[in-house]
A and B are shown apart, each in its own frame.
Chain A
């Protein structure tokens, strides 16, 4: 079977211990407004620019060859209308700048394994390995299982970076081949969660609770995005903290300060970024957040 992959990043230093290869799988049940990988949300392939505006200011070949009218000319250049695009491929075949590509390539698990094994020696020296991220990797459960099994046959360290907004069975299916789960926890208030993350937090909280109960404590790390105006206030933090304290085993907790590194990608895909007015937290603000977690007796480390 094949899975749909948005991208593969070698020399990834933020997605687990050591030097890693991170595979970004396509498709996500949530729509977090701060998402820095918008190209991984849609479970189908998508058209995207590589850079915008295009280096060829005077060229509109893509607009001219498109049979779907999926390009919109504006004063800032050309943008994509994802609703109209049928991914026929005419534009990216013709583009003289090679500035268009199809996000979402089909890969078999064995092909992915070959790819990740290329950096085996770097994992060995750094204590690194492979991270499956996304999107929500567990939406492509079968691919994950096959790939992770392959990794374990080669004794590679494995991480799954999950939203936990999935059925427990999916987590169960990969647990024997996963060394570490990074589980996102955004908010404990379901209304706020629905508003900003595009889905309920109930299955997420339930899954985290169960992972903490059934898995070895070193196998789970909770990652909290730190989003100004969403979960950076004392009340939100207190709620998250008390949820974490109520878990059966204490898990390591990471704080991921909001950044806008993904903003550019929204424009490339023809999507709108919904966090225009939110600024990344300054170091003092991050410190305030960490202090609050400490106040509520949560040991937390920032991922910078």
Chain B
């Protein structure tokens, strides 16, 4: 399929090596220097206002929908309030490192050096100062990881619908009304005044930000020689003068307003995975009205949406080198959710749902990711169209609506709202504008926990005690005692991550209130409380497990070989693991013969289910500082590759430092019975217990979609997966041979897109380790 967007190649080229823009960081630092001593939320609001008022702006030729993340599109902004040290340390290597390269000019480097003002003031500095030694040890050993120590909290779903309808003026009116009603002598009301003041500062700054774009468009129209573009710029000026201040009144306005609201969420916090919600539902009334009155053509709507789609790609993650080894490809994971059901349970697919798929088919850029809300009554034509996109874009991914509704009910969402599912973050079901996470405080490395259980709490790779003493191998005489030891290690490790989450919540609550996010998430305004202090209606802080099937296959191999067949001892096993199986042909063979998860073998699948349930149950026993239970999820995004580096050889036959199995997917290359068997295994997991979601990756050859006879069978596979109780599935529909060739000759395949995890990226720019991981995943052909 040819792209109808002439800018596609240019944009992909820019995305291969974007620039660092220091303006946000400089403006914020300046403002913070001036507001020293004021309440944190006020400083935050003023800093944000300074950025919106003074950061350079521009409008590119492809933009009909305007508004940039940095001074120019495809530059990244810097968030020193979260972390800064690494930026100074890695400044010289940013443009040459393996994953996610950035250009930094000498002039920019000079500016970035000033970030050292944040010493002791950034989240990272404050959190690290609060962490006990044993927690740091676990971090160092890779038993746990948390991206939030160096970057901000994203993973939320702003309440776009409300603001699109009310406009920022509507919010201001509401806030002002509440302020007037405050009784300042009342101790509960007094802090609310500061909160509301901050929100109003942000509201005004947002309005001014859009007006700056209106003025710029107006000015540019005077110089513009193309009549068509001149007209376009005048329209942009008109639209930006109205929204998001006023309620959107037509399709162009609603898309522009949405983009501002979405972009601003990213400009406030250095966080990934701020979701776009049910875009087809949210925009449809405006689309219908304008199409009906003849104001809008389908083609025009597509052009506006195309511009929005490109804009999604200008918001880039900016991570330290260590992080990019696992999170490469500028993985911002912005994600609209399409389809689903309406209030009465009927299929909610509309003409815009399909139109958005067309826009994706024509742009084919890494962002945004797309979620399809699958349910038994899904409109088949739309479902088919969604599948046909896969070989081109590796999107969309599919979610099980009835199961997601169960998740929502269990998370306390009212029955009347449960139908209104969007996907939040990577794979979490949420209702837009009412939930606050973060859904991803970090990851628990289950394979590492097993390694610790086999070594009495000692990390064999670093030769340090990092876990509790749960018994040495000669003393673990039954499988039950080994399993028990493993569980104790997992529980201990979860506690360490909970401690990190506590430190993060404490620091975020005290020094990083979020006035803009608080505008976008109910019930912050009603309660007069910031999101980071528990203002949201639903709080869904999350903790993830990584290496589920590595741990399960390993435990199963031990159970069978050591405790049932008694063909090798645990001590023998441990020694073989230390030697990375060098010269252990016999043992390796015994392991090979043991059934593995992913082949519809009940005994091993049920052990995996048990491990998953233990993790989920354990996570839920802990409460966050804000007072809400932590929620479990079973996904790894791409942490399985990075965390695998910290784990020696495992009893499932995996060699030392190789990637762990991803999400809930079977181990790489382990599915020998085909996709139906893999799906049966995966469906044996308790998807309901993983309240923040599960993630399954599957890889098929392109033939399965491109052959019309087979497409229907592929769709049936997804239908069956959902009926079996699977929650989420995403695909790489690409021939492994092509990936291997693209790895060898990247210049021949510069724009090849692959699904890395909960995001899609250009294959050519991924670090080799991630490329290898994608190549190694089991491929299902026909």
Contacts and interface: CB of A to CB of B under 8 A. Distances in A.
Given A11-B674, A122-B676, A18 B782 contact: no
Contact of A98 (B593, B600, B680): B593
A214 to B, nearest CB: 29
Contacts, number: 59
Interface string A73-97: 0000000000000000000000010
A119 B713 contact: no
A223 to B, nearest CB: 15
B713 A118 contact: no
Interface string B563-595: 000000000000000000000011011001100
Interface stretch (B57-65, B267-275, B719-727, B757-765): B719-727
B94 to A, nearest CB: 41
Contacts of B589: 96, 98
Interface residues of B, number: 27
Interface string B663-691: 00000000001111100100000000000
A14 B716 CA distance: 15
Given A13-B713, A18-B713, A126-B712, A119 B707 contact: no
A258 to B, nearest CB: 18
Contacts of A14: 782
A180 to B, nearest CB: 16
Given A9-B674, A118-B680, A122-B720, A128 B593 contact: no
B738 interface: no
A14 B782 CA distance: 8
A114 B488 CA distance: 38
Contact of A118 (B592, B677, B719): B677
A25 interface: no
Contacts of A98: 589, 592-593
Nearest to A125: B716
A13 B717 contact: no
Interface residues of A, number: 19
A128 B782 CA distance: 15
Nearest to B675: A11
B724 A121 contact: yes
Q: Looking at chain A's contact residues, is the secondary structure mostly helix, strand, loop, or mixed?
A: loop
A252 to B, nearest CB: 14
B780 interface: yes
Contact of B716 (A9, A10, A118, A126): A126
Nearest to A304: B707
A19 interface: yes
A13 B588 CA distance: 34
Contacts of A119: 676, 680
A124 B713 CA distance: 11
B321 to A, nearest CB: 35
Contacts of A10: 673-674, 676-677
Most A CB within 10 A of own CB, among B585, B586, B710, B716: B716
Nearest to B707: A304
B676 A13 contact: no
B780 A118 contact: no
A259 to B, nearest CB: 13
Contact of A125 (B585, B592, B680, B719): B719
Contacts of B676: 10-11, 19, 118-119, 122
A121 B677 CA distance: 11
Nearest to A115: B600
B713 A121 contact: no
15 contacts: A10-B676, A10-B677, A13-B704, A13-B710, A18-B713, A19-B713, A96-B589, A98-B589, A98-B592, A118-B600, A119-B676, A121-B720, A121-B724, A122-B720, A125-B720
Interface of A: 9-11, 13-14, 18-19, 96, 98, 118-119, 121-122, 124-128, 304
Given A118-B676, A125-B720, A126-B716, 17 more contacts: A11-B674, A11-B717, A13-B704, A13-B710, A13-B782, A19-B713, A96-B585, A96-B588, A98-B592, A118-B677, A122-B717, A125-B723, A126-B720, A127-B716, A128-B713, A128-B716, A304-B707
Interface of B: 585-586, 588-589, 592-593, 600, 673-677, 680, 704, 707, 709-710, 712-713, 716-717, 719-720, 723-724, 780, 782
In the A-B complex, the 7 residue pairs with the smallest Cβ-Cβ separation, listed nearest first, are: A126-B716, A125-B716, A11-B674, A96-B585, A125-B719, A10-B674, A125-B720
